[in-house]
Structure 1
Amino acid sequence: MKLTEFVVSDAILPELVADSKESAIRQMVASLKQCGKINESDEEAIVSAISKREELGSTGIGRGVAVPHTKHPSVESIISTVALCHNGLDFDSLDGEDVYILFLLISPPDRPGDHLRGLETITRYLKKDDFCSFLKQARTKAQVMDLLQEADDNLV
């Protein structure tokens, strides 16, 4: 599975300004709604589902990265967006550090394999220091997509 297969390019937020975990999640879900990938009527339920997942344990996995995610019946296939918070965001990360890169993932409940593959793909890329370093420097949707495409092309 490649990032460019499920990251919605028009929903990318290259200059996220958020003062809380909830604000960041709300803005990312709203960006998917604005692109027509989720219905307005489902927006609040998706935010709530992601927040409930966060209560189980932070998806701030460390090294400046968070991967909030949920399964929701309103989506027909796996979708994701990326947000870059250049000032850093307290996301209750496992290492106690601020988050700068966020990947939000939503998948249909009846496709658990896709959900796991999506999470695995995201985390595999985010373990690469060069990838994270370049991503943190991106300032436009196009720059983010170029980096995702380059990472996909170099997938071994």
Structure 2
Amino acid sequence: MLRITEFLQPSCIKLELESNKKKDVLLELLSLLQKEGSIDEAQKDHIWKDLLEREKVSSTGIGSGVAIPHKIVPGLKNTIIAFGRKKKGIPFDSTDGQPVTLLFLILGKEGSEAFHLRLLSKLARLLQQEAFREELIRSESPDQILSILHRWEEE
């Protein structure tokens, strides 16, 4: 079974993002992955530029306060996820025009495009459920975020 929790480490969860702009939030999430050792500085900068270009074409803000920026990254060893939350919301050019409070950044390894899309789809389906989003917003620790994800993945 495909599990989101296999790709999200507690060290890559930020309960209150500091940034207030889309471009800065993306960099903040990438910095979590760099500190965790999943990407290096050069990869971080390259991925950030690519994500910004992608956002210019079409926002990854899918509505209901959710954004799922994602990218296939050459040279990446494994699929990795970072999660960030901003309770007051961030302008993100979302499909519904609402600010984003929950962000999941997914980076997939080259050659795993089908897997990457399945992971993205599973996460998007979970995030369509208001009760799931509310639990993520109310959570108080990275471990609680992981527990919520694990429980909802089981249902």
**DSSP 3-state at the match of 1:71:** strand
Does the 8 Å contact 1:15/1:139 carry over to 2?
A: no
Alpha-carbon distance in structure 1 between the residues aligned to 2:55 and 2:25: 13
| Matching of residue 41 in structure 1 with residue 42 in structure 2 | yes
- Alignment RMSD, CA only? 1.1
Deviations 1:25-54 (A, max 9, x none): 000000000001111221100111111211
* Percentage of matched positions with identical amino acids: 30
- Structural mapping, 1:108-119, within 5 Å: 108-119=109-120
Please list every run of 5 or more consecutive structure 1 residues that lacks an aligned counterpart in the other structure: none
Name the structure 2 match of 1:135: 136
Q: 1:152 is paired with a residue of what secondary structure?
A: helix
1:147 maps to which residue? 148
User: 2:19 is paired with a residue of what secondary structure?
Assistant: coil
Q: Can you give the 5+ residue segments of structure 2 that lack an aligned partner in the other structure?
A: none
Deviation larger for 48-57 or 21-30: 48-57
What aligned pairs does 1:74-153 form with structure 2 within 5 A after superposition? Answer: 74-153=75-154
- Name whichever structure is richer in strand by fraction: 2
TM-score (norm 2): 0.94
Cα distance in structure 1, aligned partners of 2:7 and 2:118? 11
Q: SS of the counterpart of 2:54?
A: helix
| Residue 127 of structure 1, CA deviation | 1.0
Q: CA offset at residue 153 of structure 1?
A: 2.3
Query: Shift in Å at residue 92 of structure 1?
Result: 0.7
Whole-angstrom CA distance in 1 between matches of 2:116 and 2:73: 11
